[in-house]
Amino acid sequence: MTKHVKRAFKYRFYPTDAQAAELSRTFGCVRKVYNMALTARTEAWALRQERVNYNATSAMLTVWKKTDELAFLNEVSSVPLQQALRHLQTAFNNFFAKRAKYPRFKSRKKSRKCAEYTTSAFRFRDGILTLAKMSQPLDIIWSRPLPQGSNPSTVTVSQDPAGRWFVSLLCEDRGVKELPENSNAIGVDAGLDHLLVLSTGEKIANPRHELRERARLARAQRELSRKARGAGSNRAKARRKVARIHARIADRRHDALHKLSTRLVRENQVVVIEDLPVRNLLKNGNRARAISDAAWSNFRTMLEYKAVWYGRQVIVIDRWFPSSKLCSVCGTVTDRLPLNVRTWTCDCGTTHDRDVNAADNILAAGRAASACGADVRPQRSSPGGQSVTKQESPRREP
């Protein structure tokens, strides 16, 4: 079965000096409009208990452009500015739906530099992309082809802290097809000694991308700390050097997780994972760095949307399910199992590898819930996942 899915195809490009200057102005104007609209909406509610929506902020933008102090907003394309207001509206919708915190102001130094263009603000013909307010097309490195016969509906231009320029084209991919069904099901236990342990007994090594670059990163950060703030271009060069190392780490991690998630989805009809409380685990100062490097949340996100694409199922086991302490043979739950204990023996005489036993129990719980549906409780809303909790879970229903 063929599915029509929206996919973003990201490419690197190299702007001319004029294009870089134009895009930098656009980034600044997008940030300015977003912050002004957020201020207006916050003050309207605080002072008059009035809710300001997107249409009202769009009218404000028209007024702002006519003032002398904000006349520079007319120098860039109006579409990215309108898109910034739409993004702010989405942020407020998520806040009111209790899916996110209150929107925050965009910082010139910390916020992502990006601008979004819709079809009225760019021209795409025969692989040549030209943005509004620009006379020359972008010099894009086409590392992979776009889906045949598709045209981008949205173009997002961004610059990362390392100074690299990227363009992301949102297209409808008609080539995504559901994979043939099979009977394979697998339980996945995430960890740090091994990134993943599968119920088949396979242990996938943790590449520890950050650890491999830690000495080089520390050296670059020491060099940055010795550069005085506002001391010219030397500090900017040192900052970009640190950012390039971080970007290299992130790129390697992203590539490895994509390959691993694609493999699991292609080989198995059902993938069962745990609902790990990553945000809480990061409060552990001794392990926070390693947990961040493992990127369990990113891996889960990749699994879920790829499962939707290819007709697979991802089942999520409740975080309180005692997967490690439960004997997969007799069902006995041991009272205490410290993290440093990697092998343990149950009262029934079975000796377990801690991680393989956990993966086996995760798979069994997922199969039971998939078969009877009795122990299903939504834990995190997602298009590709189903969340499961066992009746032994000590957590009460809200």
pLDDT tens column, 2-33: 667 889 999 999 999 999 999 999 999 999 99
Are residues 271 and 357 both part of a single domain? yes
Are residues 199 and 344 both part of a single domain? yes
- Measured CA distances, 386 to 270, 316, 341, 359, 381 (Å): 11, 6, 31, 17, 8
Residue 341 located in a structural domain: yes
User: In what helix (H) or strand (E) does residue 290 lie, and over which residues does it extend?
Assistant: helix 288-294
One-letter amino acid at 29 equals C
Are residues 17 and 158 both part of a single domain? yes
Judge whether 348 and 332 are in contact, CB under 8 Å.
yes
d(CA 194, CA 223): 33
Point out the residues of the chain with pLDDT beneath 70: 1-3, 231, 371-398
Judge whether 388 and 315 are in contact, CB under 8 Å.
yes
Residue 394 located in a structural domain: no
Residue 393 located in a structural domain: no
Residue 51 located in a structural domain: yes
Are residues 200 and 334 both part of a single domain? yes
Domain that holds residue 204: 185-388
Of 177, 196, 223, the residue that ends a domain is 177
d(CA 366, CA 190): 15
Are residues 154 and 95 both part of a single domain? yes
pLDDT of 175 reads 80
Q: Which of 144, 147, 151 is nearest to 124 (CA)?
A: 151
Are residues 218 and 361 both part of a single domain? yes
pLDDT of 391 reads 35
Are residues 162 and 233 both part of a single domain? no
pLDDT of 228 reads 86
Of 177, 198, 228, the residue that ends a domain is 177
For residue 167, list its beta bridge partners: 11, 157
Q: What is the DSSP letter of 189?
A: E
Which token pair is 22? Answer: 């134009």
One-letter amino acid at 232 equals G
Residue 397 located in a structural domain: no
User: In what helix (H) or strand (E) does residue 386 lie, and over which residues does it extend?
Assistant: strand 385-388
d(CA 121, CA 133): 9
Residues with Cβ within 8 Å of residue 244, at least 6 apart in sequence: 162, 163
Q: Return the active site residues.
A: 189, 274, 355
Are residues 50 and 112 both part of a single domain? yes
Residue 376 located in a structural domain: yes
Helix (H, G, I), strand (E, B) or coil at 223: helix
Judge whether 292 and 249 are in contact, CB under 8 Å.
no
- Render pLDDT for 120-162 as a digit per residue (tens, 0 to 9): 999 999 889 999 999 999 999 999 999 888 899 999 999 999 9
Region of 354 on the Ramachandran plot (φ > 0 left; ψ -120 to 50 alpha; else beta): alpha
Helix (H, G, I), strand (E, B) or coil at 11: strand
Are residues 292 and 344 both part of a single domain? yes
Are residues 208 and 170 both part of a single domain? no
Q: Which of 333, 359, 312 is nearest to 184 (CA)?
A: 312
Are residues 134 and 206 both part of a single domain? no
Are residues 118 and 193 both part of a single domain? no
User: In what helix (H) or strand (E) does residue 123 lie, and over which residues does it extend?
Assistant: strand 122-125
When divided into structural domains, the chain yields a total of: 2
Residue 129 located in a structural domain: yes
Residue 395 located in a structural domain: no
Of 177, 200, 224, the residue that ends a domain is 177
Judge whether 186 and 268 are in contact, CB under 8 Å.
yes
Judge whether 47 and 71 are in contact, CB under 8 Å.
no
Question: What DSSP assignment string belongs to 297-355?
Answer: HHHHHHHHHHHHHHT-EEEEE-TTS-TTTB-TTT-PBPS---TT--EEE-TTS-EEEHH
Q: Report the half-sphere exposure of 397 (CA within 13 A, side-chain side).
A: 6
